[in-house]
A and B are shown apart, each in its own frame.
Chain A
Amino acid sequence: MTSPSPSPILKTSHLLGIEGLSAPEVTGLLDLGESYVAQSRAANKKAALLKGRTLINLFFEASTRTQSSFELAGKRLGADVLNMSVKTSSVSKGETLIDTASTLNAMRPDILVVRHQDSGAAELLSRKLDCSVINAGDGAHEHPTQALLDALTIRRRTGRIEGLTVAICGDILHSRVARSNIRLLAMLGARVRLIAPRTLLPCEAERFGVDIFTDMKQGLAGVDIVMMLRLQLERMSGAFVPSTREYFRFYGLDREKLSCAKSGALVMHPGPMNRGVEIASDIADDLDVSLISEQVEMGVAIRMAVLDALARGLS
Chain B
Amino acid sequence: MTVPNGKSGRLAFRNARLIDPASGFDIKGGLLVENGRIADIGPRLFNDAEPRDPEIIDCRGLVLAPGLIDCRVFTGEPGSEHRETLASASDAAAAGGVTTIVTMPNTNPVIDEPSLVDFIRRRAQATAKVNVAPMAALTQRLAGETMTEIGLLQEAGAVAFTDGDRTVANARVMRRALSYAATFDALVAGHAEDPELVQGAASTESEFATRLGLPAAPALAEAIIVERDIRLVELTGARYHFGQISTRAALDAIAAAKAKGLPITCGVSAHHLLLNELDVGAYYTFRKVKPPLRAETDRAAMVEGVANGTIDVIVSSHEPQGADTKRQTFASAAFGAVGLETLLPAALNLHHNGDADLMRILASLTIAPAKLLGLPGGRLAKGAPADLALIDIDEPFVVDERALHSRARNTAFEGRKFQGRAQMTFVGGECVFSRVD
Contact = CB atoms under 8 A, between A and B. Distances in A.
B145 interface: yes
Given A199-B176, A245-B152, A246-B152, A239 B182 contact: no
A53 interface: no
B206 interface: no
A59 B176 CA distance: 32
Contacts of B180: 197-199, 240-242
B183 interface: yes
B357 interface: no
B236 interface: yes
Contacts, number: 41
Contacts of A239: 145-147, 173, 176-177
Contact of A242 (B150, B236, B237): B150
A198 B151 contact: no
B152 A199 contact: no
B269 interface: no
B146 A198 contact: no
B183 A199 contact: yes
Interface string B281-316: 000000000000000000000000000000000000
B140 interface: yes
Contacts of B147: 239, 242
Interface in B129-174: 140, 145-152, 173
B75 interface: no
B203 interface: no
Contacts of A250: 151
A199 B147 CA distance: 11
Interface in A220-243: 237, 239-243
Contacts of A240: 176, 180
A214 B182 CA distance: 9
A214 B150 CA distance: 14
Nearest to A214: B183
B152 A249 contact: yes
A138 B272 CA distance: 55
B204 interface: no
A302 B145 CA distance: 44
Given A239-B146, A242-B149, A249-B151, A197 B183 contact: yes
A245 B173 CA distance: 20
Q: Which of A197, A198, A199, A242 is most buried by chain B, counting CB atoms within 10 A of its CB?
A: A242
A216 to B, nearest CB: 11
B423 interface: no
A198 B149 contact: no
A250 to B, nearest CB: 5
Given A239-B176, A240-B176, A242-B147, A198 B152 contact: no
Interface string A230-274: 000000010111110110011000000000000000000000000
A112 to B, nearest CB: 37
B15 interface: no
Contact of B182 (A198, A241, A249): A198
Nearest to B170: A239
Contacts of B149: 242-243, 245-246
Contacts of A245: 149, 152
Nearest to B150: A242
A241 B181 CA distance: 10
B54 to A, nearest CB: 48
Contacts of A237: 146
Q: Which of B146, B147, B176, B183 is most buried by chain A, counting CB atoms within 10 A of its CB?
A: B183
A249 B151 CA distance: 9
B179 interface: yes
Interface of A: 197-199, 214, 237, 239-243, 245-246, 249-250
Given A242-B180, A245-B149, 8 more contacts: A197-B180, A198-B182, A198-B236, A239-B176, A242-B140, A242-B148, A246-B149, A249-B151
Interface of B: 140, 145-152, 173, 176-177, 179-180, 182-183, 236-237
12 contacts: A198-B183, A198-B237, A199-B180, A214-B183, A239-B173, A239-B177, A245-B149, A246-B149, A246-B152, A249-B151, A249-B152, A250-B151
